[in-house]
Amino acid sequence: MALIEPRPIIIGNWKMNGTSESLGEIRLMAAMLDGVAIGCEVVVCPPATLIRTVHEMLSGSRIKTGGQDCHPEPQGAFTGDIAAEMLRDCGATHVILGHSERRHYHGETDALVCRKVTAAHRAGLTAVVCIGETEDERDAGQTVPVVARQLAGSIPDNVSAENTIIAYEPVWAIGSGRTPTTDEIKQVHQAIRDQLAERLDPQTTAAIRILYGGSMKPANAGAILAIPDVNGGLVGQASLKAKDFLGIIGLFAPN
Ligand code: 13P
């Protein structure tokens, strides 16, 4: 059987940005994409407080909505936490998990991320699992081993191309305006694909999307998205403005 190239996906991570005042950008995104052919899937992950509203505003558009984290359990005495089922209930189809900001500021381990990925699957959400090295790890030549260790520990065995997306986000590239070279990105994405091949069948391995994230913007996205094994992007700052976000989405030839 021929291996199918995955359909690219661009995911916007709004992080802790956005109040009802920001909804104008969502309205603009929907209007700018209305009737326009696009060559990728698109997901916007606003803060939890806006997920339902954004989902309702985007109904009828091709833009999906996602969360930025979830708790491993479906319900219970976990003040302030949000279950995957609750995200689903608000209209989310995706959830970002194991983002380096969660790992750093909230001490999330690979094992916890793995439980969250299982929770996302339980709720019918696609998990967007983030991995990436710090600058010190890169300087020590440890990029591939670090990413491999995170990947091994952060995904359960039953992942599929439908329920899981991997996002490679070098920590030092996030919000810094710096990115790895295209060769460096290519090497890491290839290593991730090779590692997936050790656990998954060839069809699943080829179909799982591996995204790049970290200072992606319209000006550099074309070169990054053309790298083999880069199947889309996880976009922070540039996803907050419809014009920038659509500047990235528009780089894919419509199909
Ligand atoms: P920036 O695009 O702002 O660097 O953020 C990347 C990121 O962390 C997306 O999850």
Work out how many domains the chain is built from and give that number.
1
Domain assignment present for residue 103? The answer is yes
CA of 12 to the centre of ligand 1 (A): 8
Angle at which helix 23-33 crosses helix 51-58, to 10 degrees, equals 20
- Select which of 99, 108, 121, 189 is catalytic: 99
Domain assignment present for residue 211? The answer is yes
Whole-prediction pTM: 0.97
The conformation of residue 92, written as its DSSP 8-state character, comes to -
Domain assignment present for residue 222? The answer is yes
Under DSSP, is residue 224 helix (H, G, I), strand (E, B) or coil? helix
Tell me the CATH number at 148.
3.20.20.70
Q: How far apart are CA 136 and CA 139, in angstroms?
A: 5
Is residue 33 within 8 Å of 27, Cβ to Cβ? no
Of residues 252 and 209, more confidence is placed in 209
Q: Which amino acid is at 49?
A: T
- 141-146: Cβ within 8 A, 24+ apart: 143/170, 143/184, 143/188, 144/187, 144/188, 144/191
CA of 138 to the centre of ligand 1 (A): 18
Query: What average pLDDT does range 229-241 have in this prediction?
Result: 98
Q: How far is CA 134 from CA 42, 146, 166, in A?
A: 28, 9, 17
- Residue 83, CB half-sphere, CA atoms under 13 Å: how many? 12
Q: How far apart are CA 10 and CA 238, in angstroms?
A: 11
Query: What average pLDDT does range 193-218 have in this prediction?
Result: 97
Closest CA to 190 of 174, 217, 210: 210
Query: What average pLDDT does range 118-135 have in this prediction?
Result: 98
Return the residue whose CA atom lies nearest to atom 5 of ligand 1.
236
Domain assignment present for residue 182? The answer is yes
Q: How far apart are CA 42 and CA 20, in angstroms?
A: 21
Is residue 104 annotated as a catalytic residue, yes or no? no
Domain assignment present for residue 35? The answer is no
Is residue 99 annotated as a catalytic residue, yes or no? yes
Domain assignment present for residue 122? The answer is yes
Which of 169, 220, 224 to probe ligand 1 with, by most ligand atoms within 8 A of CB? 169
Give the model's pLDDT for residue 255. Answer: 72
In terms of phi and psi (left: phi > 0; alpha: psi -120 to 50; beta: otherwise), the region of 123 is alpha
Q: Structural domain of residue 92, as residue ranges? A: 43-52+62-248
Give the model's pLDDT for residue 129. Answer: 98
Residue 1 has pLDDT above 70, yes or no: no
Residue 215 CB–ligand 1 contact under 6 Å: yes
Closest CA to 234 of 66, 22, 89, 83: 66
